Structure 1
Amino acid sequence: MSPPRPTTGSGRKIFLIATEESGDRLGAALMKVLRQRLGDAVAFEGVGGRAMAQEGLSSLFPIEELSIIGLAAIVKQLPKILRLIRRTATAAVEAAPDVLVIIDSPDFTHRVARRVRSRDPAIPIVDYVSPTVWAWRPGRARSMRRYVDHVLALLPFEPDAYRKLQGPPCSYVGHPLTDQLVALRPSAAEQERRDGKPPVLLVLPGSRRSEIRHHMAIFGKALSQLQAQGASFELILPTMPHLVEAVRAGVAHWPVQPTIVMGEAEKRAAFRIARAALAKSGTVTLELALSGVPMVAAYRAGSIEAFIVLRAINVSSVILANLVVGDNVVPEYIQNDCTPENLASALRDLLADSPQRSRQVEAFRNIDAIMAIGSQPPSARAADIVLTTGRQGRPAD
């Protein structure tokens, strides 16, 4: 790596790249802490969404330009994607920041990072949110050493995975969900409803249209079987406003109609009174575990995607809740195993006072200690490493 160059003035310039809503929230929280630490002596450039704009970032382009789902759509938009990668890398090099922070979205951000490292090796690069090297394509960890100086991990087992896979330095900074425990945990009155009759059953088919398309019919059939077997329950289906029409179409023929709630506040309120959940595999399983809600996890995808992913996975579970607690307590039904019969049987156990339910509840009681990071919020720990890794601003000559 070439010697660091002086920066203009005594302040810091930080270039951030986030191309999805979740990354935008992480970036905004990081920017807020950095601003608190450095005041006017920090300047931000890069790519981000609405949350980062509120913290002072003027994005190179709207991140909605990268809201592409599905293999066919990606192939069609590939020239545009590559053009945005080149544009972002050029902007980062020309900005000559004290540090480049890439946030999640590795298919985009890592391509930018490799270009930046090739063109200016003096720019330190921090990767906020580890790619799933512990689940599939483990060789990525070692290759990241060429262009990433530090990885900020959201999950407590990731630093050990990077050590074993000979990746770059990796530090656990904490998951942003740990900042939201008050919103996830029931009050006394909500706990009474959680234990009451009929039990509240959450249905969480996914946050993308393709996921809703793959899961809704199977979930509906599973709930129909559950009802036919004599189980009584109150259904709540949390979703987001832009997906509500697709959800309503999907539940139109369900024999048990759910109450559809929209937005994060309503979703968290439903979590606090739920006895069990049927959830698409993903971050939501960690949310449910932190809320103490036993669950059945399911996932179906298109045949090509499933063929590729199922052959690449090298972990015993793809459920985040299982990976964090270190035990496969949450039953998971992936692709061909995701059948109405399997889902209904597993849900029946969770609605009752069964050993399967008790096993999950007990495991989730340990999750606070497992994910503990002390008194600092994740964004503050992340800011510490960003500032330590970055070049130190120096007075101009």
Structure 2
Amino acid sequence: MRLLVSALEPSANLHLKYLLEELEGVEIAGIFDRSLGEPLYGMDEFSVMGIVDVLAKYFKGKEAVAEMVSLSGNCDKVLLIDAPAFNIPLAKAIKERYPKKEIVYYILPKVWAWKRKRAEKVERYCDRLASIFPFERQFYRRAEYVGNPLLDEIHLTRHPSEESETIAFLPGSRKSEITRLMPVFKATAEALPERRKLLVVPSFIAPEKVEAWYGDIRSFEVVHDTHEAVAQSHFAFVCSGTATLETALIGTPFVLVYKARTLDYKVGRFFVKLPHVGLANIIMDFEGKSPVHPEIFQDDVNPEKLLELYETMDRSRFDEKSQELRAILAHGSAKRVGEMIAQ
């Protein structure tokens, strides 16, 4: 089988890597990381860093859609992963040219958070909808829950250090997140002198940017492996994002922290009508269950509040909720998506 793949983001390519292990006799073409084969475009060609880049990528994106449509004519099936701004127009263009071409969409657009009309387009242009959250069936009529990819990708469970109390600090991966959270994290770390402090710095951040973005980090032990850092910690402070769900599944008690520009925060809260920000808590809310972990925002993200939550959080209750979350997600997704493609 020849499979046309559209995977534009690092997370999508990680999911693709595990999926390919479940597929035998499949040749891939399209857009993906160069470590996985010989793509039409490498994933790196679609990273966006500024307004000039955005304009350039817009025109490159239109060109890429046209080339992908032509390439799909020589492929048996199409696999789209996340990236709805690119993949929905691509699905539409392929269906218009090749109406019988089967299109599988994996990691569906998060219409439960915003842009709910996208669901109609995905249903119209895609044949199989591989959902990674059980509650997405409320928003997509034909969604098939396949499991969650993090349960394929997380290969360890919590094993906190016996030598010293260890705390992990995860300030995110974007410059804006890091520069806003690091002063708070440093002040919090200074108030915990006897603890071992791990600072997770993504490996893709260039060394010359670390000092500019993070400042003086001599009081931390710098690590690059998020899963290992979280697993060996007794507690964690985690910037909002996928890392919060990873931490919840590993089983390390943590607090979600989010600090943005006031205008950005207000605009986000206006458009996103959800009671929680963390994925673990969102999943539990749709299941009618209580949240897994605390969430704090904006002015509440200060050393005093972080220290208070570190001291008072009910860690045994967190353990119970973490296990409950794992039971809801049930299993990884790679095997079932592989079966879906192979059928």
TM-score normalised by L of structure 1: 0.77
Alignment of 1:141-220 (within 5 A): 141-159=119-137, 161-162=138-139, 167-181=140-154, 183-186=155-158, 190-191=159-160, 193=161, 196=162, 198-220=164-186
- Note if contact 2:34-2:42 (Cα within 8 Å) is conserved in structure 1: no
Secondary structure at the aligned position of 1:241 is classed as coil
Whether 2:282 is the aligned partner of 1:323: answer yes
Cα distance, 1:304–1:105 mapped onto 2, change above 3 Å:
farther
- 1:89 touches 1:113 (CA, 8 Å); kept in 2? no
Change (3 A) 1:138 1:32: same
Cα deviation, residue 68, structure 1: 1.4
For 1:29-68, list aligned pairs within 5 A: 29-34=18-23, 36=24, 39=25, 42-53=26-37, 58-68=38-48
Larger Rg computed on CA atoms: 1
* Partners of 1:26 and 1:18 in 2: CA distance: 9
- Residue 310 of structure 1 deviates from its aligned partner by 1.5
Q: Is the 8 A contact 1:16 1:27 kept in 2?
A: no
Partner of 1:122: 100
- Relative contact order, CA 8 A, sep 6+: which one is greater? 1
Count of aligned residue pairs for this structure pair? 336
Q: Aligned-pair distance for 1:16?
A: 0.5
Distance between the aligned counterparts of 1:387 and 1:84, measured in 2? 31
**2:265 matched to 1:306?**
yes
Equivalent of residue 333 in structure 1, options 296, 315, 318: 296
Gaps of 5+ in 2: none
- Report the 3-state secondary structure (helix = DSSP H, G, I; strand = E; otherwise coil) of the residue aligned with 1:330: coil
TM-fit CA distance, 1:303: 4.4
Report the counterpart of residue 353 of structure 1 in structure 2: none
Residues 212 and 122 of structure 1, relative CA distance in 2, 3 Å threshold: same
Structure 1 SS opposite 2:124: coil
- How far off its partner does 1:64 sit? 1.5
Q: Which amino acid counterpart does residue 258 of structure 1 have in structure 2?
A: F
- Offset, 1:249: 4.7
Are the counterparts in 1 of residues 175 and 213 from structure 2 also a CA contact under 8 Å?
Answer: no
Cα deviations by residue, 1:3-54 (Å, 9 ceiling, x for unpaired): xxxxxxxxx33110011111112223323322x2xx2xx432110013422x
- Kindly indicate whether the alpha-carbon contact (under 8 Å) linking 1:24 and 1:51 is maintained by their aligned counterparts in 2: no
Distance 2:133 2:15 in 1: 14
Contact 1:148 1:168 in 2 (8 A): no
Structure 1: which 5+ residue stretches go unaligned? 1-11, 351-355, 389-397
Q: Deviations over 1:130-165 (max 9, x none)?
A: 221112222322332222222212223222x32xxx
Partners of 1:13 and 1:180 in 2: CA distance: 25
Identity %: 28
Over the aligned positions, Cα root-mean-square deviation in angstroms equals 2.5
CA positional deviation for 1:309: 1.7
Taking a change above 3 Å as real, the CA distance of residues 253 and 327 of structure 1, as seen in their structure-2 partners, is same
Match among 55, 65, 72 for residue 79 of structure 1: 55
Partner residue in 2 for 1:92:
68
C-alpha distance in 2 between matches for 1:139 and 1:317? 21
How big is each residue's C-alpha offset from its partner over 1:337-391, in whole Å with a ceiling of 9 and x where there is no partner? Answer: 43333323222324xxxxx222212211223321213xxx521200122233xxx
